Amino acid sequence: MSAPFLLERQDAVAIISINDAPYNRMTLDFIDQLEALVAEIDTDDGIRAVVLTGEGLENFSVGMNLKQLPEGIQRKGGPEALFDQRLRVIAAIENMGKPWVVTLFGYCLGGGLELPLGCHFRLAADEGARIGLPEMDLGSVPAWGGSARLSKCVGRNHALDMILRGRKISGPEALHIGLVHEVWPLAELKDRAVSLAHELAAQPALAVRGMLEVIVGSEDRTLDELLQAERAAVMRTMGTPDQQEGMMAFLEKRPPIFNKQ
């Protein structure tokens, strides 16, 4: 049996690839091991950005392996525990102080969209992507936070349109409604995701963490709460080596080199 995902390390960037081509289903073992890996990444100061992708060029992920649903319920002790784990993993990614970049290509359905909704940067293929939450077709509803995060991401109207109609949208349409940040040709998509992750990893880590803490979930907080969070982030960066390097680079008219310590 192959490993549920492949892990590659490029300097300060970790690249996670779902290893079940061509469908890249999110198996029980994948979720278990991803949860452990997310915790490791969170505490590894050497990793400052993450890329999440799928093996091959056919599909990012068709979501949960539905054939494993009965086994998963039994293994976890009930359906709520099964879904709670997935919610926990996605929340851990979303609230991590390190940016995650995800690639959307081919089928990105159910959990194959819900997991990316917890990531900070979403890039899609300009052709061939079919992105959606089609649980209505199964007589059910999204169970991994999809309806909540999709609504916050693209707004009520687009979320209703996609979920109640079971619509699968393209990469360009996802860009149009604000679901993804960029679209790229499929042949360039993964390289662009890795390049973006390296760009983010080169930013001052403490400042990045501070801005993620302010911006992620900002729609649920008042302006005063956000201003307090921003001030806390400012104070944490004051006098740090990266802050001093940024100021010196500005005065010397050169690009800064952060994270040297």
Instruction: Enumerate the active-site residues.
Output: 114, 135
Nearest alpha carbon to residue 52 among 131, 135, 108, 110: 108
Query: What is the rounded CA–CA span in Å between residue 14 and residue 206?
Result: 18
Q: What angle do CA 145, 6, 260 make, to 5 degrees?
A: 90
Q: Which two tokens stand for residue 107?
A: 């089928």
Nearest alpha carbon to residue 103 among 15, 29, 41: 15
C-alpha of 234 from chain center = 25
Detail the DSSP E strand segments found in 19-166.
49-54, 100-104, 107-109, 121-125, 130-132
Query: What is the rounded CA–CA span in Å between residue 149 and residue 217?
Result: 10
Q: Which two tokens stand for residue 60?
A: 């990012």
Strand 13-18 with 5-10, pairing: antiparallel
Query: What is the rounded CA–CA span in Å between residue 139 and residue 4?
Result: 28
